């Protein structure tokens, strides 16, 4: 079947192409992936009407895109996204990386994701001594560039909280600057120094971060878990708390906003040291003011937990947790076996779904992988498809 219609015989053996209409066309459009909806809408007026009708009547609740950014050792980059409509991985044609002019002695730009409060989820950022660039769409086809923060640091927490860009912590060659916090107001002005991160974070090596319209939430990813929040408008930190998770076996955790709440994902297990083995993944709601863990909102089935760890015992040394809206993705950043999609049901509880990694990604990739999660509008898809 061609894009325009089906072939029909008229008279002798001559074939002509007949148009698709009505229910048949609607059935075809319903099976078109999100990235292909735009090209399909250009086929004809009938196809455009069918695409618009499909978008208009599609369920309001659908997962955000899960996006993998892969960097090769020679500077090559590819982007792959899990299409929530077709439930299939797609290659994103645009190369996402933002480049800065660098001198011969300048370090290569760091590429990671920042917590974005304006539309939720995460976006890509690139940080170099000469500037900070923030991707403004889920597929990193457009960027906003700012001057560099006051201090060069590696692996900082970066977030967009309302109109404020926050760069906090990270490893600095100057020990006194390791906990420094810089805030940039995107409505005008440059970088401004703020109250540094709490002393409890001074020796932390990895953070999980989440942002809403008013605050940035930061937590240690490894036990024992310390958390706090930062208000960029007031330029101050809130109380620092030891997060007490109801499951005492949890050794790895991460935060994110989903289902209208601040959530915590924790991996529990048994054993010690290198012999520790993940046996459970549970989700809890967290009070945004006190940082106390409230009720449990979801628990991953045991057989799915096993999909996060390979048969050779490649452990779950940290937990990946990306959430937006009524959905969350859970994965093992060290072993890309399966991704688990969690849907928060309206009546309470969760529904879990397995998502296999794309064929282009090895379980233990040699190149760097950055994970992103975000809803995508038709405009975002149009930019990615061009």
Q: Could you give the angle at the alpha carbon of 264 between the alpha carbons of 262 and 265, nearest 5°?
A: 145
pLDDT in the model for residue 178 = 74
Do 34 and 162 reside in the same domain of the chain?
no
Q: Are both 154 and 262 inside the same structural domain?
A: yes
Check whether residue 75 and residue 180 sit in a common domain: yes
The secondary structure of residue 195, as a DSSP letter, is P
- Based on the fold, state whether residues 53 and 94 are members of the same structural domain: no
If asked whether residues 259 and 295 sit together in one domain, one would say yes
Cis previous bond, 224, omega within 30: yes
Radius of gyration from C-alpha coordinates of the chain: 23
d(CA 319, CA 30): 35
Question: Beta partners for 374?
Answer: 65
User: Mind listing the pLDDT tens digit for each residue in 185-241?
Assistant: 988 888 999 999 999 998 888 999 999 999 999 999 999 999 999 999 999 999 999
Tell me how far apart the alpha carbons of residues 74 and 58 are, in angstroms, rounded to a whole number: 42
The pLDDT value given to residue 227: 97
Q: What is the CATH number of the domain that holds 149?
A: 2.120.10.80
CA 32 from centroid of its chain's CA atoms: 24
Q: How many CB atoms lie within 10 A of CB 22?
A: 9
Q: Are 292 and 286 in contact (CB under 8 A)?
A: yes
Tokens representing 167? 């760069």
In which region does residue 94 sit, left (phi positive, over 0), alpha (psi from -120 to 50) or beta (all else)? beta
Note whether 184 and 260 are same-domain residues: yes
- My answer on whether 94 and 41 are in the same domain is no
DSSP class per residue in 104-125: TTSPPPEEEEEEESSSSSEEEE
The answer to whether the beta carbons of residues 192 and 182 sit under 8 Å apart is yes
Q: Number of folded domains in the chain? A: 2
CA distance 160 to 229: 14
Residues 28 and 94 grouped into a single domain: no
Given this model, what pLDDT does residue 171 score? 74
Element (H, E) at 385: helix 378-385
Please check whether residues 153 and 175 belong to one and the same domain: yes
- Is residue 79 domain-shared with residue 207, that is, in the same domain? yes
Looking at the structure, tell me whether residues 81 and 27 fall in a common domain: no
Domain span at 276: 65-385
Cα dist from 276 to 36, 83, 239, 282, 302, whole Å: 44, 34, 31, 17, 16
Instruction: Tell me which of 14, 37, 57 is where a domain ends.
Output: 57
Give pLDDT < 50 ranges for the chain.
Answer: 1-18, 20-21, 59-60
DSSP state of 369: E
pLDDT for 268-310, tens place per residue?
Answer: 998 877 678 889 999 999 999 999 999 999 999 999 998 888 6
Question: Measuring CA to CA, how many Å separate 178 from each of 202, 230, 339?
Answer: 7, 16, 33
Q: State the pTM of this model.
A: 0.84
Rounded to 5, what percent of the chain is helix, strand, coil? 15, 40, 45
Q: Residue 382: what pLDDT?
A: 74
């Amino acid at each position: 079947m061609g894009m325009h219609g089906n072939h029909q015989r008229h008279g002798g053996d001559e074939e002509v192409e007949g148009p698709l209409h009505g229910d048949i066309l609607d059935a075809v459009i319903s099976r078109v992936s999100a990235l292909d909806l735009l090209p399909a809408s250009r086929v004809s007026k009938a196809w455009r009407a069918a695409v618009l009708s499909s978008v208009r009547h599609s369920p309001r609740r659908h997962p955000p895109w899960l996006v993998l950014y892969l960097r090769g050792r020679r500077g090559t980059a590819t982007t792959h996204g899990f299409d929530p409509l077709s439930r299939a991985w797609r290659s994103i044609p645009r190369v996402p990386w933002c480049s800065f002019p660098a001198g011969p002695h300048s370090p290569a730009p760091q590429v990671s994701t920042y917590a974005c409060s304006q539309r939720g989820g995460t976006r890509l950022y690139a940080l170099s001594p000469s500037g900070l660039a923030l991707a403004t769409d889920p597929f990193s086809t457009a960027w906003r560039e700012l001057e560099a923060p006051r201090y060069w640091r590696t692996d900082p927490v970066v977030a967009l909280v309302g109109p404020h860009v926050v760069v906090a912590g990270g490893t600095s060659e100057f020990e006194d600057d390791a906990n420094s916090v810089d805030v940039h107001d995107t409505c005008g002005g440059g970088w401004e120094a703020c109250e540094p991160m709490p002393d409890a974070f001074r020796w932390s090596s990895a953070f999980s971060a989440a942002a809403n319209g008013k605050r940035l939430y930061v937590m240690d990813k490894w036990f024992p878990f310390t958390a706090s929040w930062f208000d960029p408008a007031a330029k101050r930190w809130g109380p620092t708390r030891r997060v007490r998770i109801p499951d005492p076996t949890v050794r790895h955790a991460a935060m994110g906003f989903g289902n209208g709440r601040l959530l915590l994902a924790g991996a529990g297990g048994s054993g010690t040291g290198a012999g520790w083995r993940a046996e459970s993944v549970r989700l809890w709601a967290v009070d945004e003011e006190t940082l106390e863990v409230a009720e449990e909102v979801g628990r991953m089935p045991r057989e799915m937990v096993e999909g996060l760890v390979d048969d050779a015992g490649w452990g779950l040394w940290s937990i990946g947790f990306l959430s937006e809206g009524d959905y969350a993705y859970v994965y093992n950043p060290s072993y890309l076996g399966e991704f688990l999609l969690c849907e928060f049901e309206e009546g309470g509880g969760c529904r879990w779904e397995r998502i296999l990694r794309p064929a282009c990604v090895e379980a233990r990739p040699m190149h760097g992988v950055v994970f992103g999660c975000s809803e995508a509008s038709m405009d975002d898809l149009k930019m990615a498809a061009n």
